[in-house]
Structure 1
């Protein structure tokens, strides 16, 4: 006998588990049948999430490291970015997975099947979801499986990529300040792109050192690693061990994923456009978007077509992505102008979509004007 589920989730990553966590807190899973389709058992630390935040914030019990200082660097200046009670925080994914999955154990109606999501068919009154093993039916379907091929080579919505390789290193000599992170170090060669180093120290001899680009195209793997090695040498690191590596490719796009939402289907996470297009940051935005999902689920009549609410920040992100896509070497100048001319607290409010129009105008006027005016004139 086929079970009709109340909810099916394709993918049990950050977005899916965040929504389930908030559904538990809101008591929305009582007597509900839920199916999770996910092949990964989520028992390893497969990524880290970092974000700027107040000293006290959501999921502080999961934070493994926080920095009270963070720097923006170019070849001319070093700017302190955090002020007051602001912190830069790191959450290791395994701690988040363990936390949410432990809460889910109390709900036997939640079934986890280690199956690969293939497709879905919206029947208006229900949704049929197909895995590599079987077909399932649900009232509501939440999909976080991202298919990048749907947005590649899109002229109207160009795709920038935040791509990186990072080394977790242990050095012989003490070189790092364990209380001070480096958001962006643009003192490295740009080579016609937007390239910077990202450094998260854990002690005087241990850090994550990451070579990051905001650009349309990936590099050969050895180019990232040579850049990290050269950077460490320039910082006076004479000998080091690589404890582990991480690699990523985050889409930076304003593609309207929400247009694929329907009454019973909601695309979430990267597949729903929840990754901030101008930064690639996901964690805090996922918290906000998940809270909006919960508000919808509390309604007597649920309609996921009402989930997306366009705002002016989407317009700002659209201009930013188009400018960097057309002239990728401008990134250093854009970010340098912002941090040199605008108080960093206002910049973070702007990037978190919590600023007012006056603050936004201050950030916008700090950017190179001609490229953005040209992008605005092409805006359709």
Structure 2
């Protein structure tokens, strides 16, 4: 069996960001690294968006918006995002950037195989694929196992699930300078449902039908709602350029409990997804940087975790959505109707002070969150 210092089981966003940070640091040239994934990452399989006031991954940002719309059945508000911009990164562009970078490193290798098992054996680990086995000092696992969360009841587990169409319309109906962040004017049907629109030209946009809920839908249900929304926009003739589909776990489950000295769970498998929103890209950049710094000073992966006030805020929010999924629109509308969008985004980036937290939290429906708070007071450990 061939031995490596580090093996990444799965090469999704979190794995690629971590390896990329390792290369940029210049501190791991003497370490052999292997990435294993059954997906060769050569297709545009997803789109990531995030708000940013700096130049995060600027070389692969394909579109930026300085304004965004929030709407429900009762009101519509255009949000000035300054100093932030809302940015879009296409999956294929990100994969190309990272693989072009790591292909120049003689110590980093990629194999296109399916991981079937990995385990820690004393001071080393074994990773098995359908074709062969490897040994290593450390494993970075990003293969999400939903059964871990489903087999417990203490922490709610919702899905952010969606289907999106990139369309080209014969009518110029889109404002390419303004994204639609959340449009809750669609029928809620007992869930938290909204449309998400990212226009790139007056005639082109990504339109996604998204839910925060316990149960998934059939593909036809998502696509029917997209068709209805397109008609509502006044579009009569269009063609679908691409489709994308996703399912992001939303939970405050303590994934770090499953880390060991030599195996760490990263990405969705490690709770790197922002539990209350499902936003992943910016969270992964922060976590990957922190993990690389840990590698330079520590050898024990159990030391990599943080449970802070934002973890608790997310937990309360998910408790609310779990019990009253039909009121998700009400919660978000209360937040965005009169709230300061810059402060809300800063809060969602987990960069606010406690006083700033209160300014955001105070906008939320108090009865729902007080009830959730009392329900949790004696459960946290």
**TM exceeds 0.5?**
yes
Equivalent position of 1:184 in the other structure: 182
- Number of paired residues? 377
Report what 2:366 is aligned to.
369
Deviation at 1:86, TM superposition (A): 1.5
Whole-Å separation in 2 of the counterparts to 1:264 and 1:119: 15
Secondary structure at the counterpart of residue 150 of structure 2 = coil
Unmatched tracts of structure 1, length 5 or more: none
Write out per-residue CA displacement over residues 156-201 of structure 1, whole angstroms, 9 at most, x where no aligned residue: 1121111111111111111100111000001111111111110001
CA distance in 1, matches of 2:236, 2:311: 45
1:37 to partner: Cα distance: 1.1
Q: Secondary structure at the match of 1:332?
A: helix
Contact 1:263/1:302 (<8 A) preserved: yes
Q: Which residues in structure 2 correspond to 1:186-205 (within 5 Å)?
A: 186-205=184-203
CA distance in 1, matches of 2:152, 2:161: 19
1:256 is the counterpart of 2:221:
no
Question: Which of 318, 323, 328 lines up with 1:321 in the alignment?
Answer: 318
Residue by residue over 1:307-332, the C-alpha shift from the partner in whole angstroms, topping out at 9 and shown as x without a partner, is 10210100011111111011101111
Pick from 164, 167, 170 the counterpart of residue 166 of structure 1.
164
Pairing 1:1-380 to 2, within 5 Å after superposition: 2-54=1-53, 56-152=54-150, 154-299=152-297, 301-379=298-376, 380=379
How far apart are residue 153 of structure 1 and its match? 5.1
Work out the CA distance in 2 between the residues paired with 1:226 and 1:24. 45
State the distance in 1 between where 2:88 and 2:19 align: 21
Within 1, Cα distance between the matches of 2:225 and 2:151?
Answer: 28
Task: Return the alpha-carbon distance in structure 1 between the equivalents of residues 126 and 84 of structure 2.
Answer: 45
In 2: Cα distance, 1:53 partner to 1:82 partner: 13
Runs of 4+ in structure 1 over 6 Å off: none
User: Are the counterparts in 2 of residues 16 and 144 from structure 1 also a CA contact under 8 Å?
Assistant: yes
Q: C-alpha root-mean-square deviation of aligned residues, in Å?
A: 1.2
| TM-score between the two structures when normalised by the length of structure 2 | 0.96
1:100: Cα distance to partner?
1.0
| 1:199-233 Cα deviation digits (max 9, x unpaired) | 00111111111111111011122121111111111
Whole-Å separation in 1 of the counterparts to 2:122 and 2:328: 44
Tell me the distance in 1 between the aligned counterparts of 2:216 and 2:111. Answer: 34
Whole-Å Cα distance in 2 between the matches of residues 309 and 167 of structure 1? 37
1:153/1:159 contact within 8 Å kept: no
